[in-house]
Amino acid sequence: MAEQDSKAVIFVFDDNEAIRTLVRIHLQQAGYEVHAFEDAVEGGRAMLDTPPDLLICDVNMPFLDGLEFLVAMKTDVRVARVPTIVLTSRTDEDTEMAAANAGAAAFLTKPLRRGDLIRSVEQVLSRRRAGNTPQARV
């Protein structure tokens, strides 16, 4: 991992505590600063206060689903350019297309593999530094 990525701030939205913990541990071990939230409402408030360098967001969450959040996020100039990785147990093409249409920079499926997570995070952050965040599947 590049030194300039070591302090990147990553927000994680997932209603499953075990997934939040797993993602947080993997990313912290890789040198990232991680803030985990139970849902998009709680996390969205935090994003408006302090936008992260990257968001990892589940699709199925209470109150506001992850894809709805991504669409809403893109309408607020404070967070519209924050790249997002969608992390979901859904493996169907419709969900993947919906994530891409909502502006996701990458799409990961559960069960999560550490290597896929770190590789995806590094790729999305690298594209962000270059000013380019096209959709990608990892």
pLDDT of residue 86: 93
Token couple for 65: 């689903």
Q: Please tell me the pTM assigned to this model.
A: 0.86
**What's the mean pLDDT in 18-45?**
94
Cβ atoms of residues 124 and 95 within 8 Å: no
Distance separating alpha carbons of residues 66 and 37, to the nearest angstrom: 12
Place of tokens 């990553």: 10
Write down all domains in the chain, each with its CATH number in brackets: 3-130 (3.40.50.2300)
Q: Where are the beta strands (DSSP E) in the chain?
A: 9-13, 33-37, 54-57, 84-88, 106-109, 136-137
pLDDT in tens, 53-108: 999 999 888 787 888 888 888 888 989 899 999 999 888 899 899 899 888 999 99
